[in-house]
């Protein structure tokens, strides 16, 4: 029988929790899962589970300024939610924003990625430039588009009026029929490159064989795209949709900066409404209720999507 | 500025310089303000003075009073090493205190002062959290007038502090020097003073003198006159130039401010004496009809502007008049930032068609076209260092410090009567950045035309949501009639007021 080397002996001892590797604390050589799970579990407890439980508790309370305290209100906040027209309006706006922006960003993202999927000189630079919008804080993007869409001084307004798409007496962000589109524009400008990058990464990893076979069989570009590229990209696209979808459902910055939810309530989203209730009106209980509803909707939609698209992590 | 005034001012400056009463740096600044090229003075400096008030910060005559600093040093001895915290909105007094003046206090007192400059909503969040938790994170509270009712029990009444700690009372601090109208309008709730008046943005009438002369108009004396003049200008000069600029962004507090000014100017009020919303009564609807007409004289973007957009419209020469915050006036005079330096004039607000008395209104509302948005500064009852905070508060709101704030802070309106007559403030009455030539109008407006919003705990929500959201819906065409809009506001407001 072969005699174990010293290293094998030490590794065996370490596996059994009897010996530390030289220079490492004993805990870091343990094969027991507990020490490895503890930091993550602690972080989850502190930053996720506790806030979630506190938020649920808060939704059954309300801050009363004159008492300087949170008082129990039972299910009042939840009942109020059902009867609150502003909540339902915000929910509708959030869904509309979510579907339209996601759809446009996805289509544009795929189209631009396919255009940029080349090794010709200059394309690398173009791909790099495309990422620049992603490093701008959304609030700054909101300010930029606020100025560009200003009815008096805005370059975008001027351009749209110039080509006859906008009448001079229609301020984009102060007209209910155009305000949401004005905000969407900022989002699409900033985040389409994110879609492009993800799709581009997917495109670059696709195997060449199916394309070669399809071309030999005489398939056209549209057929190849529909029957090969899209199915092969489906997992990548699902991830992109999931990430952007969650972001879109929580959209806040653009509305806050560009429209304050107006005109009227036409650009109120769930996040903006929850923020307003929590921080402007100091209705912490109702704000928590609105946040929980947003969270629940995101969880349901995300899991539904994962199930439908068969994404496996 | 007239040529004769300019020459006189220059002559005085030369006299002061020759006799050693003015240093070279200051003299060059004055000369540049008067439009003299540096080459003409033989200095060889090529870059013209642009009128930034920051230059004055190092001037000898703009140093805090040595007497006051000596008092600070004396009474602060037990508090050396203490750190004081204040969360405040970005207003001229806070910016000047933070940027230029607090270092003098820190040096004299041995204390450290941390001033967090934040958007108003974040100030409210921090203040509310501090009040609720009673942690005393902030020693001083910046209290917007609309929070005075909610916060009144959480701060010291300065009169109590003076009586309780006479040894910490600043000599000559004189609470009666604060403009009485401001004390009533900003920081009095029931019989308590919620701090002392700290800043006072207030609506005054500003108009383009050149356009008015061209049109053969006098400065608007009444609300009706302002409207007809605006209509005439828009009709004559639009779309290049409009009669008025507005701050009508849906859902924003600015829209509520403009609406209340128009409501009060047309004989209406927000609440009646029974505490019910009265914007939907006859006078309230007349005000809405007036607002509709005025809106038509404004540039199309007015419904997307807060006061910033409104100010820009004037600064860029797009509109001829605005009834808005007087703090814009010094900016309009800045030749480096606007096209209209020297062309704007400030006058008192147009006379209202009729005006309700405070007795006819509810919740302490004081009708007046000169809508004020002032705030107070108060020591928190939760502070761990209330005495140290009280020393800082007295120094920061003393007449001497206020005069410096007004001079360095670009002509912001003082809250003390004596500061308006301070020679340092008067010296800045000339066309240029940071001018104080509008401050007489501000003082008269505070005394005679000032309108104050009601004090009730739900006012923050009513003023920044209920009213501007529904008005926004109306002006965007989502609500069919003014009556319907006002009735909707009445329904929501009365529910919130009763909570």
Task: Note whether B213 contacts A: Cβ–Cβ < 8 A.
Answer: no
Tokens of A84: 């609150």
How many Cβ pairs closer than 8 A exist between chain A and B? 105
CA distance B223 to B356: 15
Has residue A99 got a pLDDT over 90? yes
Angle between helices A85-116 and A123-130 (to 10 degrees): 170
**Tens-place pLDDT, residues B294-322:** 999 999 889 999 998 999 999 999 999 99
pLDDT value at residue A313: 57
pLDDT value at residue B12: 54
> Is this prediction's pTM over 0.90?
no
Give the nearest partner residue to A264 out of B134, B300, B476, using CB atoms.
B476
DSSP summary character for residue A149: T
Give the nearest partner residue to B251 out of A151, A262, A279, using CB atoms.
A262
**Tens-place pLDDT, residues B155-186:** 999 999 999 999 999 999 999 999 999 998 89
Give the nearest partner residue to A263 out of B121, B250, B309, using CB atoms.
B250
* Residue B291 Cα to chain centre, angstroms: 23
- Which class for B321: exposed (0-12), middle (13-18), buried (19 or more C-beta within 10 A)? buried
Angle between helices A138-148 and A155-162 (to 10 degrees): 50
Q: Give A293 to chain B, closest Cα distance, Å.
A: 22
Give the DSSP H/E element, type plus range, for residue A64. Answer: strand A61-64
Residue from B489, B483, B487 nearest B458 by CA: B489
DSSP summary character for residue A229: I
**B58: confidence class by pLDDT, cuts 50, 70, 90:** very low
Average pLDDT over residues A247-268: 93
Give the nearest partner residue to A152 out of B128, B299, B469, using CB atoms.
B299
Q: How many CB atoms lie within 10 A of CB B200?
A: 28
Q: B203-368+455-498: same fold as B62-201+372-426?
A: yes
3 state DSSP class of A33: helix
Mind listing the domains of chain A with CATH numbers? 86-309 (1.10.3720.10)
Average pLDDT over residues B69-82: 96
Point out the least confidently predicted range of A4-18, A118-132, B74-88: A4-18
Choice between B5 and A302, residue whose per-residue pLDDT is larger: A302
pLDDT value at residue B126: 87
Has residue B55 got a pLDDT over 90? no
Residues of B in contact with A155 (CB under 8 A): none
Has residue A80 got a pLDDT over 90? yes
CA distance A293 to A274: 10
Has residue B453 got a pLDDT over 60? yes
SS (H, E, C) chain B: CCHHHHHHHHHHHHHHHHCCCCCHHHHHHHHHHCCCCHHHHCCCCCCCCCCCHHHHHHCHHHCCCHHHHHHHHHHCHHHCCCEEEEEEECCHHHHHHHHHHHHHHHHHHCCEEEEEEECHHHHHHHHHHHHHHCCCCCCEEEEEHHHHHHHHHHECCHHHHHHHCHHHCCCCCCHHHECHHHHHHHCEECCEECCEEEECCEEEEEEEHHHHHHHCCCCCCEHHHHHHHHHHHHHHHCCCCEEECCCCCCCCHHHHHHHHHHHHHCCCCCEECCCCECCCCHHHHHHHHHHHHHHHCCCHHHHHCCHHHHHHHHHCCCEEEEEEECCHHHHHCCCCCCCCCCCEEEECCCECCCCCCHHHECCCCECCCEEECCEEEEEECCCCCHHHHHHHHHHHCCHHHHHHHHHHCCCCCCCEHHHHCCHHHHCCCCCCCCCCCCHHHHHHHHHHCEEECCCCCCHHHHHHHHHHHHHHHHHCCCCCCHHHHHHHHHHHHHHHHHC
Residues of A in contact with B121 (CB under 8 A): 279-280
Say whether A279 and B124 touch across the interface (CB within 8 A).
yes
Residue from A280, A276, A260, A279 nearest B248 by CA: A260
Say whether A171 and B303 touch across the interface (CB within 8 A).
yes
Q: Give B20 to chain A, closest Cα distance, Å.
A: 49
**Tens-place pLDDT, residues B95-153:** 999 998 999 999 999 999 999 998 877 888 888 888 888 889 999 999 988 788 888 88
> Using alpha carbons only, how large is chain A's radius of gyration in Å?
26
Domain range annotation of chain B: 3-49, 62-201+372-426, 203-368+455-498
pLDDT value at residue B178: 96
Choice between B393 and A131, residue whose per-residue pLDDT is larger: B393
What's the residue count for chain B? 499
pLDDT value at residue A10: 59
Residues of A in contact with B459 (CB under 8 A): none
Q: Alpha carbon of B445 to those of A140, B270, B350, B428: distances in Å? A: 37, 20, 10, 20
Task: Note whether B136 contacts A: Cβ–Cβ < 8 A.
Answer: no
Say whether A176 and B477 touch across the interface (CB within 8 A).
yes
Say whether B124 and A280 touch across the interface (CB within 8 A).
yes
CA distance B483 to B410: 42
Backbone angles phi, psi at A170, to 5 degrees: -115, 90
Q: Give A32 to chain B, closest Cα distance, Å.
A: 42
Residue with tokens 């209340």: B260
Say whether A281 and B239 touch across the interface (CB within 8 A).
no
Task: Note whether B475 contacts A: Cβ–Cβ < 8 A.
Answer: yes
Residues of A in contact with B241 (CB under 8 A): none
Has residue A35 got a pLDDT over 90? no
**B290: confidence class by pLDDT, cuts 50, 70, 90:** very high
Give the DSSP H/E element, type plus range, for residue A227. Answer: none
- CATH fold label, B203-368+455-498: D-Maltodextrin-Binding Protein; domain 2 (3.40.190)
Average pLDDT over residues B347-375: 95
Residues of A in contact with B248 (CB under 8 A): 174
Say whether A263 and B309 touch across the interface (CB within 8 A).
no
pLDDT value at residue A13: 58
Has residue B1 got a pLDDT over 80? no
Query: What mean pLDDT, rounded, does chain B reach?
Result: 87
Q: What is the ipTM of this complex?
A: 0.73
Q: Which residue of B has its CA nearest to A273?
A: B465
Q: Give A70 to chain B, closest Cα distance, Å.
A: 9
**Tens-place pLDDT, residues B6-24:** 444 444 544 554 445 555 4
Query: What mean pLDDT, rounded, does chain A reach?
Result: 90
**A15: confidence class by pLDDT, cuts 50, 70, 90:** low
pLDDT value at residue A32: 83
Q: Give A154 to chain B, closest Cα distance, Å.
A: 10
Q: Which residue of B has its CA nearest to A280?
A: B121
Residues of chain B above pLDDT 70, percent: 88
Task: Note whether B313 contacts A: Cβ–Cβ < 8 A.
Answer: yes
pLDDT value at residue B21: 53
Q: How many CA atoms lie within 13 A of A36 on its CB side?
A: 6
- Residues 444-473, chain B, touching A (beta carbon < 8 A): 457, 460-461, 464-465, 468-470, 472-473
Which CATH architecture does the domain made up of B62-201+372-426 adopt?
Answer: 3-Layer(aba) Sandwich (3.40)
Q: How many CA atoms lie within 13 A of B265 on its CB side?
A: 31
Say whether B121 and A63 touch across the interface (CB within 8 A).
no
Say whether A263 and B465 touch across the interface (CB within 8 A).
no
pLDDT value at residue B2: 43
Interface of chain A toward chain B, CB-CB under 8 angstroms: 63, 65-66, 68-69, 150-153, 168-176, 259-266, 276, 279-282
Q: Which residue of A has its CA nearest to B121?
A: A280
Choice between A151 and B42, residue whose per-residue pLDDT is larger: A151
Q: Give B407 to chain A, closest Cα distance, Å.
A: 31
């Amino acid at each position: 029988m072969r005699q174990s080397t010293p290293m094998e002996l030490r590794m065996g001892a370490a596996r059994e929790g009897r010996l530390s590797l030289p220079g490492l604390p004993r805990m870091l050589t343990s094969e027991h899962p507990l020490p490895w799970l503890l930091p993550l579990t602690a972080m989850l407890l502190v930053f996720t589970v506790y806030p979630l439980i506190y938020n649920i508790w808060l939704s059954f309370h309300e801050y009363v300024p004159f008492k300087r305290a949170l008082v129990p209100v039972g299910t009042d906040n939840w009942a109020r939610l059902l009867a609150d027209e502003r909540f339902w309006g915000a929910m509708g706006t959030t869904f509309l924003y979510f579907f339209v922006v996601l759809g446009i960003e996805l289509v544009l993202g795929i189209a631009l990625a396919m255009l940029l999927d080349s090794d010709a000189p200059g394309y690398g630079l173009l791909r790099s430039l495309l990422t620049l919008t992603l490093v701008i804080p959304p609030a700054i993007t909101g300010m930029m588009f606020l100025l560009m869409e200003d009815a008096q001084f805005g370059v975008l307004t001027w351009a749209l009026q110039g080509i006859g798409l906008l009448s001079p007496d229609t301020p984009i962000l102060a007209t209910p029929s155009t305000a949401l589109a004005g905000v969407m524009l900022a989002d699409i400008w900033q985040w389409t490159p994110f879609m492009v990058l993800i799709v581009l990464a997917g495109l670059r990893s696709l195997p060449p064989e199916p394309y070669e076979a399809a071309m030999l069989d005489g398939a056209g570009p549209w057929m190849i795209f529909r029957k090969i590229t899209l199915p092969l990209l489906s997992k990548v696209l699902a991830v992109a949709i999931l990430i952007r979808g969650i972001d879109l459902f929580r959209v806040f910055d653009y509305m806050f900066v560009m429209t304050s939810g107006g005109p009227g309530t036409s650009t109120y989203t769930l996040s903006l409404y929850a923020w307003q209730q929590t921080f402007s009106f100091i209705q912490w209980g109702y704000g928590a209720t609105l946040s929980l509803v947003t969270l629940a909707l995101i969880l349901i939609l995300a899991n539904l999507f994962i199930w439908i698209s068969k994404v496996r992590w | 500025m007239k040529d004769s005034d300019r020459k006189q001012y220059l002559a005085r400056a030369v006299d002061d310089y020759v006799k050693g009463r003015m240093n070279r740096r200051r003299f060059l600044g004055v000369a540049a303000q008067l439009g003299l090229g540096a080459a003409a003075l033989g200095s060889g400096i090529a870059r013209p003075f642009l009128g930034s008030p920051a230059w004055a910060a190092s001037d000898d005559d703009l140093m805090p009073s040595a007497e006051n600093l000596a008092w600070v040093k004396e009474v602060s001895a037990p508090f050396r090493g203490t750190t004081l915290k204040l969360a405040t909105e970005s207003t001229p007094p806070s910016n000047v205190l933070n940027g230029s003046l607090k270092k003098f206090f820190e040096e004299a007192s041995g204390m450290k002062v941390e001033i967090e400059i934040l958007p108003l909503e974040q100030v409210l969040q921090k203040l509310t959290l501090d009040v609720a938790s009673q942690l005393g994170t902030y020693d001083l509270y910046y209290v917007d007038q609309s929070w005075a009712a909610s916060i009144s029990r959480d701060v010291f009444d300065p009169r109590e502090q003076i009586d309780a700690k006479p040894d910490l009372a600043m000599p000559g601090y004189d609470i009666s020097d604060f403009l009485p109208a401001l004390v009533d309008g900003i920081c009095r709730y029931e019989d308590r003073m919620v701090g002392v008046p700290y800043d006072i943005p207030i609506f005054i009438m500003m108009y383009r003198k050149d356009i008015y002369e061209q049109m053969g108009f006098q400065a608007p004396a009444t609300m009706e006159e302002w409207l007809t003049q605006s209509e005439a200008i828009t009709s004559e000069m639009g779309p290049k130039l409009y009669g008025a600029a507005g701050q009508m962004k849906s859902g924003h507090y600015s829209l509520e401010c403009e609406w209340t000014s128009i409501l009060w100017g047309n004989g209406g009020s927000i609440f009646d004496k029974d505490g019910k919303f009265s914007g939907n009564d006859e006078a309230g609807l007349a005000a809405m009809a007036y607002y509709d007409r005025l809106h038509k004289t404004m540039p199309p973007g007015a419904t997307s502007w807060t006061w910033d957009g409104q100010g820009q419209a004037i600064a860029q020469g797009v509109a001829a008049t605005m009834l808005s915050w007087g703090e814009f006036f010094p900016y309009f005079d800045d030749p480096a930032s606007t096209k209209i330096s020297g062309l704007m004039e400030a006058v008192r607000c147009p006379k209202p068609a009729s005006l309700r008395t405070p007795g006819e209104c509810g919740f302490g509302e004081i009708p007046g076209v000169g809508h004020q948005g002032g705030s107070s500064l108060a020591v928190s009852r939760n502070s761990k260092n209330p005495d140290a905070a009280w020393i800082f508060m007295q120094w920061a709101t003393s007449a001497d410090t206020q005069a410096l704030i007004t001079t360095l802070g670009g002509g912001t309106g003082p809250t003390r009567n004596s500061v308006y007559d301070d020679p340092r403030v008067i010296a800045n009455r000339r066309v240029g950045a940071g001018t104080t030539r509008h401050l007489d109008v501000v003082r008269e407006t505070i005394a005679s035309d000032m309108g104050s919003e009601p004090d009730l705990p739900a006012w923050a929500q009513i003023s920044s949501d209920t009213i501007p959201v529904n008005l926004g819906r109306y002006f965007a065409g989502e609500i069919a009639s003014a009556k319907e809009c006002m009735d909707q506001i009445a329904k929501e407001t009365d529910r919130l007021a009763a909570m």
